[in-house]
Amino acid sequence: MSVRGKGSDEDMHLGSSAAEGAGALSQDTPPERALRVNWEEKTRASPYPISRLAPPHGLIDMAREIQQADAMLGAVTGAKLEVLARQIRLLQEQARTLLESAQRDGDLHRVACSFKKRPGQVYYLYQRAEGSRYFSMLSPEDWGPNRPHEFVGAYRLEADMSWTVDGSFND
């Protein structure tokens, strides 16, 4: 496929069209210059040489490539959306847990208490027979067998004013 070679149809085409258009090319012109001149003269459809051995690029091939790209994009997008949906469900569960904790903490702060609550201390929640609840500093063990009301649970007041169930006490 050299411009210098004699006998091939392509060589003749490069030489003859370049000679007709520019008049300055000969058999000794380097192939790069011949192709550049041919492109500038628009005698070729492509700015680079196309091999006859290369697979044809037809409309069907392009449609197949587009279809494969669409399938790949669909799969990738679907996978990313599944990850986002999973993250949304986890965030919703965390928000639900947070709201339940805030509701419980608010309810515990409204329980009757006849002393000043201090962060870091454990307080014991009791319920009277009529349903009212109150905090005490005395644990059920401190009361002994003569517990005046039903024990509900032990809670530790945290520095952020939230309540944590105290697991050290089991009744």
Exposed e or buried b per residue across 15-29, where buried means at least 16 C-beta atoms within 10 angstroms of its C-beta:
bebbbeeeeebeeeb
**117: in domain:** no
User: Which pLDDT score, from 0 to 100, does residue 156 have?
Assistant: 94
Q: What is the distance between the alpha carbons of residues 62 and 81, in angstroms, rounded to a whole number?
A: 28
The predicted model gives 132-148 an average pLDDT of 90
The predicted model gives 32-43 an average pLDDT of 52
The predicted model gives 139-152 an average pLDDT of 89
Q: What is the distance between the alpha carbons of residues 29 and 2, in angstroms, rounded to a whole number?
A: 10
The predicted model gives 122-145 an average pLDDT of 92
* 20 vs 126: which has the higher pLDDT: 126
pLDDT in tens, 101-132: 999 999 999 999 999 999 999 999 999 999 99
- 161 and 140 belong to one structural domain: yes
**102: in domain:** yes
- 71 and 102 belong to one structural domain: yes
Give the residue from 53, 72, 92 where a domain finishes: 53
Nearest Cα to 122, choosing from 132, 108, 110, 101?
108
User: Which pLDDT score, from 0 to 100, does residue 25 have?
Assistant: 53
pLDDT over 70 at 17, yes or no? no
- 132 and 146 belong to one structural domain: yes
- 26 and 49 belong to one structural domain: yes
Give the residue from 70, 85, 110 where a domain finishes: 110
All residues at 6 or more sequence positions from 74 whose CB lies less than 8 Å from its CB, including other chains: none
- 160 and 131 belong to one structural domain: yes
pLDDT over 90 at 39, yes or no? no
The residue range of the domain holding 36 is 1-53
User: Which pLDDT score, from 0 to 100, does residue 135 have?
Assistant: 95
- 35 and 83 belong to one structural domain: no
**11: in domain:** yes
- 60 and 92 belong to one structural domain: yes
pLDDT band at 61 (very low <50, low <70, confident <90, very high): confident
User: Which pLDDT score, from 0 to 100, does residue 31 have?
Assistant: 58
Of the segments 19-23, 31-35, 46-50, which one has the largest average pLDDT value?
46-50
Tally of structural domains, the chain? 3
Percent of the chain whose predicted confidence (pLDDT) is above 70: 65
Give the residue from 53, 70, 97 where a domain finishes: 53
